[in-house]
Structure 1
Amino acid sequence: MTNSLFIMVIMFLFGNMIFVSKHKHLLIVLMSLEFMVLSIFFLMMMYLMMIGYSMYMLMAFLVFSVCEGALGLSILVSMIRTHGNDYFQSFNLI
């Protein structure tokens, strides 16, 4: 149990490091966010199974993570349609 907990924490830290360091492309940032959501999902699943709680909270978490992923993909598609790529340097906020 502690070995899998350690692996999930390492997964979250790797996703966080990629999120902080690779900010050139929007797609890489979105994939690192989804990787962090996946590790948090596994951590919550392990915790809820350990304390014997029902898994309805996981279903709500999955719904919010799917909405977050769909929103990120729609931003990516609209950015590619307007600017032609997903570089943050070509995206001017002013």
Structure 2
Amino acid sequence: MLMFILIYNFFMFSFMYMFMIFFFFRKNLLLMLLMLEFMMLMLFLMLMLNLYNYNNELFIIMIFMIFMVIESVIGLNLMILMVRVYGNDYFYNYNILQC
């Protein structure tokens, strides 16, 4: 039981650290997408750990993984579109989008 708590706290600390990086270092889109993926990975590991611990159905993990893949594909498509249109992925160049 102690090992479960230690692993869960590590995942929670990692998630919070990546959450802080996501909000404080918003310089370019690639870094933000990478932090979102790591946050989703930590959520996935916490969910998997909880579901294995309580012997629940593991079908939820498959649905969560599908949403992770969809989120990453949409993010990469947006980044590729922005790089093709504007030439880079820095956010200070996107103030042109304001009306």
Is the TM-score greater than 0.5?
yes
Aligned amino acid, residue 52 of structure 2: M
The correspondence of residues 29-44 of structure 1 with structure 2, limited to 5 A, is 29-44=32-47
Counterparts of 2:85 and 2:40, CA distance in 1: 28
Which 4+ runs in 1 deviate beyond 4 A? none
Greater Rg over alpha carbons, structure: 2
TM-score (norm 1): 0.97
1:93 to 61, 83, 97: 97
Q: Tell me, what secondary structure is at the counterpart of 2:19?
A: helix
Counterparts of 2:44 and 2:22, CA distance in 1: 18
What are structure 2's unaligned runs of at least 5 residues? Answer: none
| Root mean square deviation of aligned Cα | 0.6
Instruction: Give the match for residue 72 of structure 2.
Output: 69
Counterparts of 2:9 and 2:16, CA distance in 1: 11
TM-score (norm 2): 0.92
